[in-house]
Chain A
Amino acid sequence: MNRRGKYVVTFPSLPTVISTAACVGKTEGEGPLAEYFDIVNENDGVGSSTWERAEAALVKQAAGLAIQKAGLKTKDIDIAFAGDLLNQCTASTFGLRETEIPLAGLFGACSTFALALIMASVAVDGGLADKALAEASSHFCSAEKQFRYPLEYGGQRTPTAQRTVTGAGAAVIAKERDGVKITHGMVGRVTDYGVTDMANMGAAMAPSAARTIADFLNDTGSRPADFDMILTGDLGSVGSSLLNEVLREEYGFDISRVHADCGNLIFDAEAQDVHAGGSGCGCSASVVCSYILPKMQRKELRKVLFAGTGALMSPLTALQGDTIPAVTHAVMFCS
């Protein structure tokens, strides 16, 4: 590992994504990416008696499948980095408790998958692990229960609200010759521009994404045009337009031609009535694992900067009137 500039870390041994899996819920399976997901669960309960167990079941599904697709057994995985949105990260720990894989739980809110990829790459590049698992999950129902209202509560959502994705994405990272390489990683700084509206998380996260992307481009001396895609995690439609605006006007980078957002990709906002798009740890994890990385594997995309965005508030801090800090971690993929 080497440091590049102030914030970016490079991985000289080029850790490789050797397999990915994405398991999602019903609504995600009705969206534009339906055909790319490995498993679409027809029932969001995933055969479990509680929403929290359902999310853990998704974690188990995706991890098992990613390991199986790599032609490995769980005992071959040296370390797992996983996280979710629930208190104490129970979806990840409960989902992986029977696997016996050494587990480092992570919390980065919705940016967790990017953070997990960075940590897995650090582990593989640094010789801590031959094979590492990176995973993140979220569930619409468990997130609503924790952060908002009961499911059957008859409230209205504002047009800026996003829908938490029900899904888990897992990737196995190893030292190998073939496959998509993780060349750079960057852990972001906590950024707070004073947004307090929990129904406008895209706006809360956009300045953080702008900062991380600008820092990454500066540290690596690259331009937006050098990438086939600059992919943000879950800014949704409002956050995406803010990101483009802030990057252009405050940092002088125009990413509009290459920018895509997992929250915009996963749902058809109009047809599926999801307002400003998807959100949650499972949003970027399932989109990256089902759509982006396989596309890179097929060489349809060669160079992608994935900037996982996360809003770091809790229901308590929101009630206490605090603003919403955000963080964005970046990973660069090459194929």
Chain B
Amino acid sequence: MIPKGEVLRMEKKEYAKRVENASPGSPLLKNCLNAFAVGGLICTLGEGLFTLYSHFGAPEKEAAAWVCITLIFLTALLTGIGVFDKIAKHAGAGTMVPITGFANSMAAPSVEYQTEGRVLGTAVKMFTIAGPVIVYGCSAASLYGMIYYFFFRG
């Protein structure tokens, strides 16, 4: 019989071990291969676009900007029509790491929070996922810029 008034029957550490054994891990190899393939495809598409825009006479910097704009547009479109998350489910880091991930992280909440209004819904919530990337991205860039400015500018 179980003694009455027991508090916890197992040590938390012991339970954590049980949880680890019972929980299947993510399929790492499959995820990596998918990410490699899809991420590679997106980058190839980017290169193709770059060649295309250069072919039509865009200077290098401008062509690169147009590539970003095109990928962002495509991501926002695919997010809006509900396709992007279905690709990303399999692609993982493959869609997350390129600029597509960033674009999706802003487009998705914009769609989701429309119901709370254009200002307090869409506009405020648009940055819920991308916000930290912007904050720490800008901070890192500023820091790097200062180090470069003070120590390495010839």
| Chain A residues in the interface with B (C-beta under 8 A) | 6, 49-51, 145, 149-160, 191, 193-195, 200, 203, 207, 211, 214, 218, 238, 241-242, 245-246, 250-252
Contact = CB atoms under 8 A, between A and B. Distances in A.
Given A194-B16, A245-B18, 16 more contacts: A6-B4, A150-B129, A154-B89, A154-B91, A154-B101, A159-B23, A159-B26, A159-B27, A160-B24, A195-B16, A195-B19, A203-B23, A207-B10, A214-B2, A218-B2, A251-B9
B24 A159 contact: yes
B27 to A, nearest CB: 8
B18 A152 contact: no
Main SS class of interface, B: helix
B132 to A, nearest CB: 12
Interface in B1-52: 1-2, 4, 8-10, 12, 15-16, 18-19, 22-27, 31
Contacts of A156: 26, 31, 88-89, 92
A16 B130 CA distance: 52
Contacts of B15: 193-195, 207, 246
B97 to A, nearest CB: 11
B8 to A, nearest CB: 7
Nearest to A6: B4
Interface in B94-119: 95-96, 101, 104-105, 107-109, 111-113, 115
B109 A153 contact: yes
Interface of B: 1-2, 4, 8-10, 12, 15-16, 18-19, 22-27, 31, 79-80, 82, 84-85, 87-89, 91-92, 95-96, 101, 104-105, 107-109, 111-113, 115, 129
Main SS class of interface, A: loop
A53 B118 CA distance: 19
Contacts of B26: 156, 158-159
A159 B12 contact: no
B96 A150 contact: no
Given A214-B2, A218-B2, A250-B10, A153 B22 contact: no
A203 B20 CA distance: 9
Contact of A154 (B95, B109, B113): B95
Given A149-B129, A153-B129, A160-B23, A218 B18 contact: no
A150 B12 contact: no
Contacts of A245: 18, 22
A251 B79 contact: no
A153 B85 contact: yes
A241 B104 contact: no
Given A6-B4, A159-B25, A218-B1, A154 B85 contact: yes
Given A152-B79, A154-B108, A156-B88, A238 B23 contact: yes
A160 B101 CA distance: 24
A151 B121 CA distance: 15
Contacts of A158: 26
B112 A145 contact: yes
Nearest to A245: B18
Contacts of A152: 79-80, 82, 84-85, 104, 107-108, 111-112
- Complex A-B, nearest 4 residue pairs according to Cβ-Cβ distance, in ascending order: A154-B88, A150-B112, A152-B108, A194-B12
Task: Tell which of A150, A246, A252 has the most Cβ of chain B within 10 Å.
Answer: A150
A150 B109 contact: yes
Contacts of A246: 10, 15, 18
Nearest to B103: A154
Contacts of A200: 19, 23
Contact of A151 (B22, B27, B112): B112
Contacts of A155: 85, 88, 96
20 contacts: A150-B113, A151-B85, A151-B111, A151-B112, A152-B79, A153-B85, A153-B108, A154-B84, A154-B101, A156-B89, A160-B23, A200-B23, A207-B15, A238-B22, A241-B22, A245-B18, A246-B10, A246-B18, A251-B2, A251-B9
